[in-house]
Amino acid sequence: VIVRAIAEHELLAVWDEALAQHPLDRALTLLTALEPMAPRAELRALSVGERDRRLIELREQLFGPQLKATATCPRCTEALELSAPLAELRASLGAADATNEPEQWLEVDDLMVRFRRVTSRDLAAIVAAPDAEAARAALFARVFIEARPRGSDQPLATPALPAGAVAAVEARLAELEAAADINFELECPQCRAAWSAPFDPCAYLWTEIDVWARRLLRSVDTLARVYGWREADVLALSPHRRRFYLEMAEG
């Protein structure tokens, strides 16, 4: 494992903080490894696509430029190995986000509706909604800004929108969300089944960091037992020297 630029003890602190968190918070905590100075409120205000783009950038810095994963054929359970350049995934999210202005207008019948794109803060706010219907209503209430009769520069006085306008905005939000999704179109070499596999950058990166951190802590444990060193002593060693002492301790 090669950790460049970001110090091991910093990444370990990020892992420690993220361990018990909800995936939405965890994604933002991981981003603090990339941007330690960024206020949490600023990270929460990122669109979901931009958040994922930055998570992929972090993954490239930490573990290299190539995505490697496995998928299982839903028909014959054959295991497939996936490999893709992360820079391409990052670029596709960047392109989707460029068309995704923070605020958008949508024409619905004789109305112009203004709303903003969904951020991590919005998603966190609707996590506790009792059902999907309530979550959708809460999300709409958060991102809706105003509605005007077409050709007017005065917002409607009544906040209640026709159901058709709400449905149209929700459909547009779903489209924007879909543009921020990464899907791999896969075909099984055994049985030719074709399917689409979603890729979650946060879950993917988190699994890698978790494996890395547990391995690091196991080596701290081994060296502490054999040499009586403290955690800070072990982390201060270069990876090469740590591996050398581990081999001595285990050999």
Note whether 75 binds Zn ion by CB under 5 A. Answer: yes
Residues 6+ apart with CB under 8 A from 156: 111, 146, 147, 148, 149
For Zn ion, the closer of residues 72 and 207 by Cβ is 72
Give the nearest distance from C-beta 82 to Zn ion in angstroms: 14
Asked if residue 188 lies in contact with residue 212, where contact means CB atoms within 8 angstroms, the answer is no
Q: Which is nearer to Zn ion, 69 or 249 (CB)?
A: 69
- Closest distance between Zn ion and the C-beta of residue 84, in Å? 20
Q: At its nearest, how many Å lie between Zn ion and the CB of residue 207?
A: 24
Tokens of 166: 């709400």
Nearer to Zn ion, 76 or 145 (CB): 76
190 contacts Zn ion (rule: CB under 5 A)? yes
Query: 159 phi and psi, to 5 degrees?
Result: -75, -20
194 touches Zn ion by CB under 5 A: no
Residues in binding contact with Zn ion, number by CB under 5 A: 8
The HSE-up count of residue 195 (CA atoms within 13 Å, CB side) is 15
Of 70 and 154, the one with the shorter C-beta distance to Zn ion is 70
Choose, by CB under 5 A, the member of 1, 7, 76, 211 that binds Zn ion.
76
In whole angstroms, how close is the CB of 76 to Zn ion at the nearest point? 3
Identity of the residue, 79 or 174, whose beta carbon is nearer to Zn ion in the bound complex:
79
| Two structure tokens written together for 199 | 């890729």
In whole angstroms, how close is the CB of 194 to Zn ion at the nearest point? 10
DSSP 93-115: HHHHHHT--SEEEEEETTEEEEE
Contact 186, 196 (CB under 8 A): yes
In angstroms, rounded to a whole number, what is the distance separating the alpha carbons of residues 194 and 207?
Answer: 26
The single residue among 18, 24, 31, 73 that binds Zn ion, judged by CB under 5 A, is 73
Binding Zn ion (rule: CB under 5 A), the pick from 7, 193, 203, 211 is 193
CB 94 within 8 A of CB 182: no
The nearest distance, CB 24 to Zn ion, in angstroms, is 34
Residue 78 contacts Zn ion per CB under 5 A: yes
Of residues 170 through 189, those in contact with Zn ion by CB under 5 A are: 188
Query: What are the angstrom distances between the C-alpha of 97 and each of 48, 51, 74, 198, 210?
Result: 9, 10, 31, 18, 29
User: Which residues lie near Zn ion (CB under 5 A)?
Assistant: 73, 75-76, 78, 188, 190-191, 193
